[in-house]
Structures are given as C-alpha cells and as structure tokens.
Amino acid sequence: MNKEKWYMRKYLIVFVILGCIAGCKQSEKSDNKIIIPIDLEKMHEIDLQGEYAMRICLTDNGNPALVDEVKKILFVEGQYIIQGRNKILAFDAQSGVCKMSFSGQGRARDEFISLWDAWIEGKTICIYDMNGKKILRYDFNGNLSEVISIADKASNYPFQVLAKTIGGYYVGKRVYGSVKHNIELNLYDKDFEFVKEIGDLKIESGIYLGYPFFVYSPTEVLYHRYLYNDIYAIDDKQNVTVKYYVDFGENNVPLNPNFKDEYDRIDFVNNSKKDYGTLVSNIYESDKYFCFRFLCERGKCLGVYDKSSGEAASFVFTPFSSASIIDVYVFDDKALLVTQDMDKTCLTTISVDDLLKNNR
C-alpha cells in the first residue's frame, strides 16, 4: 500500500490546503531557535476564486493535461518542473503550456528503473534512480547529457535523497539499513563519494512519502524529518542545528518514549481521535518569510512566518467545487496550490503578501 495513503487514512486525504503558522501569534526564540506557534482553530479561510488568486490549467498540445501523481515541483527560469510518476514534465509558469516531458523508464544505461528524486543544478535537471544506482542529468529540453553510475560509490553509506551545497558537495539522507541508529545525514563529494557523517540525528526508518526533505535558503540548506516539528539548518561547515520549531501546542504529536520508530508514531496518529498537526514539509525560506505545509484533519495546510514582524499566520484554502487540492508550495514568495479536477491539473498562485492581508 502507498505509505502516504496509509499514513493519511485518518485524515481521509481531504487535501484542503491550510496555512500553517498560527493566526496573529507571535513567535518566540529559545536556544537560538525560533518557535512558531500554530493554533489549528485559528486559520484564515481563502477562496481560490478570490480576487488575489491567479489560476492556470496545464495543457499539452492544446489539450488539458492531467499529471499523474504529482510528487514534487521545482520552479526555475519561469517554468514549473514537475516530478510525476516516473516522468518529468516542464510547464510555462504564465501560460501552463507543456514545454517538455520525458520518461525513459527501463533498465538500459540511459534509462531509469524508478524516478526516486529530482533536483536542479544550474541549467540541469538531475534524476536519482536509487534502484538503478545511478544519476542522470538532462537539459531543460529533456535531452540526456550525462549518466553517472554510483553502484560502487558510497556503498556502505547509500543515500535516499540529496541536496547540493554551495561548496559543490552534497548532503544526503542515508538509506535505512540493517544496523539501527545510524547517523541520518552524510556528506558526499562532487562525485557522490562518501566523505563523512554529519550531525547527530539517528535514522529511524526507511519511510519515504515523496515530499522534499531539503530546500535551499539564502545561506544554508534547510532539512526536515517526517513526523517531527524541528526544521534544521545545515551551514557551509556542515553544522546541523535546529533553526525553527513548529509548535502545534496541544495538537503536537507527543514524543512518546515507547515509540520504537516512525511507524509507531504513524499508528498512534492513525488510531487517535485527536486532531494532530503533523507532516511539516515543502519548507521554503526567503529574506522575508519562512513558509511550510502541514497536515491536520482539514487537510494540507500552509503556514507563513513573517521575519520582520515576528508574527505567524495560517491559512486553509477552498478549491473549486469539483476540484481536489493535491499540495501546496511556495516559490518567490508566492503560494502555489496544485489542484486536480476531472481530467486536468491546475496551478493557482497567491502572493504571501496578499495572504497576510487577512492577518491584519
């Protein structure tokens, strides 16, 4: 069974996007980390057909495009790069027109068995095939430019996902192995060779729900973990510290010492009648804002922390009557809501500035 669906059965996957940082609440600092309070009862409701919303529906050769299983969205040079089910697609951010797509699934050298992760390096789309033990690089036109085998690299420290640092190295989340309590984060060189373990986080399971783990902020790499509320910053010296803590108050999932691993926490949430805030993901940071998505009974939610004022706000979005909200991201200080309606996938943007007008 799909792990995300399994985890979300308590919530019925309503997929209503909510805002994540509590309305009109002031954040606090503790031990150099910023605590962002979230009140699930105080979220602003935003109509996706409202005056600030701009909607485009994706098309391919003039026909409506339905992207099968949107796993990840990247934004670069005026286009959205979408990682679907073993397929990469690029759409113009203004018109929604498909500019490029490729799959290449197979076992040949220039194909991938599974599209596990995707990221951007300069003008290159990088594909990680964990099962095929290789990384493939494509240009923005979908042309394959390089295939790098990693079968003999970092064999004792395999990675699940990667993020490239400013210095050209990579930070990777380690694959869960037979030995428990391994260090979770590793450093790899530009050729994907293992360099060293970093930080002291211990890997608990191999669960992978498809959400991005890493994101670049202006000066560092931010990292999050499933089912926990800490957001970590990894600096250029590979120091790992908690930068933000998302506090749902009485709706936090308890840190039960009897939980053996993340699966115990999942079972606890699924079997509970309490509305917990969880699955903080799709994190984003700019000079002005820190934003993230989370999940509660009302669906997927968006939170905004205003750095200048220190205030936080949260939002729930109402889609078109027949549409379902699939996910929410933030790019260039604009919320991006992914909806699907019958045979089409649509993208709606609302600037964070306009969202915060509801918080004044």
- Residues 151-188: tens digit of each pLDDT: 888 777 888 888 888 778 899 998 877 455 588 999 99
Is the pLDDT confidence value at 15 over 60?
no
| Cα radius of gyration (the chain) | 20
Please say whether the beta carbons of 254 and 17 come within 8 A: no
96 domain-assigned: no
Q: Are 46 and 315 in contact (CB under 8 A)?
A: yes
More confident position, 206 or 193: 193
- Name the E strands within 14-168: 18-19, 25-26, 28-30, 33-37, 44-47, 54-57, 59-60, 63-64, 72-76, 79-83, 88-92, 98-102, 117-121, 124-129, 134-139, 144-149, 159-164
Mean pLDDT of 347-356: 96
- Looking at the structure of the chain, the number of domains it has is 1
The pLDDT tens digits for 236-247 are 888 999 999 999
Whole-number Å distance between alpha carbons of 356 and 302? 12
Q: pLDDT class for 258, splitting at 50, 70, 90?
A: confident
For residue 32, what are the domain limits? 1-61+210-360
172 found inside a domain: no
- With respect to residue 198, please indicate whether it lies within any of the assigned structural domains: no
- Residue 310, C-beta contacts closer than 8 angstroms, at least 6 positions apart: 26, 27
The percentage of residues in the chain with a pLDDT greater than 90, rounded to a whole number, is 57
Residue 303 lies in a domain: yes
> Please, how many CA atoms are within 13 Å of residue 179, restricted to the half-sphere of its CB?
6
> Do the domain assignments include residue 181?
no
Q: By mean pLDDT, which of 61-75, 90-104, 166-180 is the weakest?
A: 166-180
Say if residue 54's pLDDT is above 90: yes
The pLDDT tens digits for 107-116 are 999 999 989 8
**Which is it for the CA torsion 103, 83, 226, 32, positive or negative?**
positive
Q: In what order do the strands lie in the sheet with 144-149?
A: 117-121, 124-129, 134-139, 144-149
Counting beta carbons within 10 angstroms of the beta carbon of residue 60, is it exposed (0 to 12), middle (13 to 18) or buried (19 or more)?
Answer: middle
Residue 83 pLDDT greater than 70, yes or no: yes
Taking alpha carbons only, the member of 172, 132, 181, 136 closest to residue 154 is 172
Separation CA 43–CA 55 (nearest Å): 22
Mean pLDDT of 321-336: 92
Residue 353, pLDDT score: 97
> pLDDT tens-digit profile of 100-157?
999 988 999 999 998 989 999 989 999 999 889 999 999 999 999 999 999 888 777 8
Q: Is residue 197 part of a domain?
A: no
Confidence class of residue 319 from pLDDT cuts 50, 70 and 90? confident
Give CA angle at 355 (353, 357), nearest 5°.
75
**Backbone phi, psi, residue 327, to 5°:** -165, 175
Output the six-digit token pair for 312: 């936080």
Of the candidates 275, 320, 325, the one whose C-alpha atom is nearest the C-alpha of residue 302 is 325
Give the lowest-confidence range in 54-68, 193-207, 304-318: 193-207
Helix (H, G, I), strand (E, B) or coil at 237: coil
Whether the predicted pLDDT of 339 surpasses 80 = yes
Q: Is 359 strand, coil or helix? A: helix
Domain-embedded: residue 162: no
Q: Report if residue 18 sits inside a domain.
A: yes
